[in-house]
Chain A
Amino acid sequence: MDVEQDELMGLLIAVAREDRAAFQRLYEKVSARMFGLCLKLASQRDLAEEAVQDAFVQIWHNAGEYHDERGAPLSWMLTIARYRTLDLMRVRKAKQTSGDSHLEHVEDGREGPLDVSLRSAGAAELTGCLEELSEPQRDSILLSYYRGFTHDELSETLSSPVGTVKSWIRRGLMALKRCLER
């Protein structure tokens, strides 16, 4: 575990003992990364702000439940925020009468649905295992992870039937797991 993760671990332990100063310090260290991730995922500032707020409220209440089987402290906190963002996105989508305004918004983005920086970030973190996947497998997994795309949205973005997209994800994830376990 690197120095930063050690420090985050120490802060989490202090937060579990209801140390407010440590909680604020944790927020200062993590919130910009968390907000960046939520914003990328949701493409909506107010939703991303709400997700970060909810995530930190949960971190305050649940810091004592962190343990090392759940990944590094930073990953754990980002995972909380990511799930929260996905939840909020689902509710918003369910409320929309037309489901495609989100897609148009994404496609209007300057970077396109999956920009190069994300692809290389993913590659670096997954220790080369992404390289072993086919391009559509990799893109559909990264689009789900970073952009929260549904099967329907992936199908539209990648111009492929939903069934095909589902199998790219499923097979891609299993191939990824085999590689990560090696």
Chain B
Amino acid sequence: MKKTPERIEALAAEYVLGSLRGRARQRFERWMMESVRVRQEVWFWEGKLGPLGARIEEEKPPASVWSGIERRLWPQSRDATPTTAANDGAGRWLWPGWSLVATAATLVLAVILLQQPASRDDQRLSGAIVQAETTDPLWLVSESALDRQLKLRPVAATAAEQGKDYELWIVPENGQPVSLGVMPVGETYQVTLDDETRALLSSSRTLAISLEPVGGSPTGAPTGPILHVAKLYEL
């Protein structure tokens, strides 16, 4: 589907309203990743419809909500407020469906890196995982068909919060993300792709990083928040 101004306008409104669902919603999230114009249209509606949310009757959440947040962010911290309610934080890590940019927070940009021109036989994908308002990319990504290696070199990436690991995923065009393992921070992460994963990556060209319990997702699907999504480009 072409990104005509009319379509962007209509879909952005329905995306923010929430009435855009399923595949159409996923497709639109991909558009958001690809185009500033699309993101700006979404921001327009978030800005206009956002204040509606502030008019609802307030209700104080139970104390267990705050202690759950503290436990998730700083599991080792001693000064975290002790919880009284039975509220098992671990049970709350179920990832509710693969919704890439279903958060107003995740601003995703991908940049093209200049590299040595590749030979024709060696098709390469390249990109960077970046964060808004951070000058340096978090990781630089390169992939080479010849040696079937996907490499992520950390630049400005910092270690995951205590008790957590970063896990790398290929986001296929359809279906569940495929894990590429837990990434150590501070050294280049290198993974060899088999035919199947390479095919998935060549067609979707989308990687994501989620925050998982130490050792990676216990379920085989992302369970924690998706921190970054990046699109790779062919060089």
A67 to B105, CA, bound (A): 10
For the side of the interface on B, what is the size category?
Answer: 35 or more
Question: Which of B40, B54, B104, B106 contacts A74, CB < 8 Å?
Answer: B54
A24 to B74, CA, bound (A): 13
User: Dominant SS at the A interface?
Assistant: helix
Residues of B near A91 (CB, < 8 A) are 94, 96-97
Question: Which of B46, B74, B96 contacts A76, CB < 8 Å?
Answer: B46
Residues of B near A62 (CB, < 8 A) are 103, 105-107
What is the chain B residue whose CB lies nearest that of A94? B97
B104 to A87, Cβ gap below 8 A? no
B21 to A52, Cβ gap below 8 A? no
B233 within 8 A of A: no
A9 within 8 A of B: no
Residues of B near A75 (CB, < 8 A) are 46-47, 50-51, 53-54
A144 within 8 A of B: yes
B105 to A58, Cβ gap below 8 A? yes
B19 to A64, Cβ gap below 8 A? no
For the side of the interface on A, what is the size category?
Answer: 35 or more
A70 to B69, Cβ gap below 8 A? no
A9-36 residues with Cβ-Cβ distance < 8 A to B are 20, 24, 27, 31-36
Q: Which segment, of B8-16, B166-174, B199-207, faces chain A?
A: B8-16
A58 to B106, CA, bound (A): 9
A79 within 8 A of B: yes
B114 within 8 A of A: no
A56-97 residues with Cβ-Cβ distance < 8 A to B are 56-62, 64-65, 67, 69-72, 74-76, 78-84, 86-88, 90-91, 94
A177 to B72, CA, bound (A): 39
B10 to A174, Cβ gap below 8 A? yes
A92-126 residues with Cβ-Cβ distance < 8 A to B are 94, 117-118, 121-122, 124-126
B99 within 8 A of A: yes
Question: Which of A31, A39, A118, A173 contacts B17, CB < 8 Å?
Answer: A173
Top 3 nearest A-B pairs by Cβ distance?
A: A75-B50, A71-B47, A121-B55
